[in-house]
Copies of this chain bind each other. A is one copy, B any other.
């Protein structure tokens, strides 16, 4: 169905009218040359004679003559009613069509470059997958089978039909206004955050949000409380922008605020996941939240609240966001659609304490990538306005609760000899704590060989050692896949 695109510019063809050689023969020579040196590849369609004649400002007959000669000699072939194509040249020594050979010469400078950003370890690409499907226990896999694709497609189709009415130029960097309005409404009712759309900034996922905050608010050496264990990308962002990361251990419920106060009283910023501590779990209780807010107000500390999967709470009532309690304007709230819609969307958002502050963040975002893509924002806005978002969340919450229960039962049945496990009130993964310590590298190797992906808690720790534990994602897989995976896990654990 899809065809090689009709060629257009071909800048390598340059005819010289002062030259003694006729134009058709110059054209013939240059096309042949382009085939030899790889600018034209076998199977590619040549422009129609009329198009090329217009492009080169020559008579159509000149192009015709050149094509005929090239067909005669086997460089091109004409397909009836379907244009002219470049032939496969088996018996000709061709220059490489891809950059494989030239690369040898080309890497001269590239090979020697010392990239200055030392925090760019390969680990950052963990989970940077190909198009292959994810393997069981990988976390943050969304269940797309239950995504309302038809509704989404219908909304998208309506927006595309009316695309001419949308402004598709350079738009407000702060984000598509109807989406910011829908978010302000959503946050007010569901996260108890009262804010105006002026305080909301649309970003490309939560990583960008953390980077923006760190870049704008931190001076070199500013101390930052960081949950330990905690979200690695946040740590990397704080460090990159000059922050001195101060590891703060956890209580059973999240950040140990007393520890932070005692050990790092001068901290300028605290990164927290109060709704669902990442990755251990736990929800910061109200009195701890108030203590954190009071400390921040008294000591001019910023709080970066990453509310990444608060929507999936299975037991008890949802907890209002920390931002909802923030009457002094010290909390910067970060939310994302990656976990509740799908990650490939790349839409996150921030709520800043004031509109003027949002304006500063917007200016910075503008210099970085000017704005986020608009059409997807319009789709999400309508998806929210029409109530599909709320319905989808409700559905997924019930589904994920069921999937967690199923995994818990399976783990209880098959691997309770090796790991302790407790249900999680929130989120899309569980943690299995090993009953006996073992060689973790070996365990991970064996798991990978068995076709399951378990991430160790130790990947997230900074200073404070945790017992050995494994992250077990339970969303986005079929029941049979999870059943098989638990049996694989059993074999791996038994073999340690």
Contact = CB atoms under 8 A, between A and B. Distances in A.
B189 A39 contact: yes
B169 A367 contact: no
Contact of A105 (B188, B205, B329): B329
B373 A373 contact: yes
A129 B393 contact: no
Nearest to A301: B109
Given A116-B216, A120-B363, A194 B39 contact: yes
B327 A105 contact: yes
B149 A353 contact: no
Contacts of A237: 367
A319 B11 contact: yes
Interface in A91-135: 97-100, 102-103, 105-113, 115-117, 119-120, 122, 124-125, 127-131, 133-134
Contact of A169 (B5, B129, B328): B129
9 contacts: A11-B320, A39-B189, A110-B352, A115-B360, A119-B367, A142-B168, A147-B164, A204-B373, A344-B375
A240 interface: yes
Interface in A143-195: 144-145, 147, 149, 152-153, 156-157, 160-161, 163-164, 166-173, 177, 182, 184-186, 188-192, 194-195
A58 to B, nearest CB: 11
A211 B14 CA distance: 35
Nearest to A197: B98
Contacts of A192: 11-12, 39
A328 B106 contact: yes
A13 B317 contact: yes
A390 interface: yes
Q: Which interface residue of A40, A41, A122, A390 has the most chain B CB atoms within 10 A?
A: A390
Given A133-B167, A346-B369, 14 more contacts: A5-B385, A6-B390, A13-B317, A103-B329, A108-B297, A120-B364, A131-B177, A142-B169, A167-B344, A204-B370, A207-B368, A207-B370, A211-B369, A346-B373
A107 B157 contact: no
Nearest to A153: B160
A208 B347 CA distance: 17
A219 interface: yes
Contact of A363 (B51, B125, B385): B125
Interface in A355-382: 355-357, 360, 362-364, 366-376, 382
Contacts of A363: 120, 122, 124-125
A170 B10 contact: no
B354 A194 contact: no
A329 B2 contact: no
Nearest to A38: B194
A8 interface: yes
A463 to B, nearest CB: 22
A343 B105 CA distance: 36
Interface residues of A, number: 154
| Interface-centre pick from A4, A211, A367, A389 (highest chain B CB count, 10 A) | A367
A364 B117 contact: yes
A391 interface: yes
A74 interface: no
A179 to B, nearest CB: 12
A109 B329 contact: yes
Nearest to A275: B11
B140 A170 contact: yes
A165 to B, nearest CB: 9
A102 B326 CA distance: 10
A221 to B, nearest CB: 12
B157 A124 contact: no
A161 B112 CA distance: 47
Interface string A380-420: 00101111011101100000000000000000000000000
A199 interface: yes
Contact of A11 (B9, B317, B376): B317
B103 A354 contact: yes
Contacts of A457: none
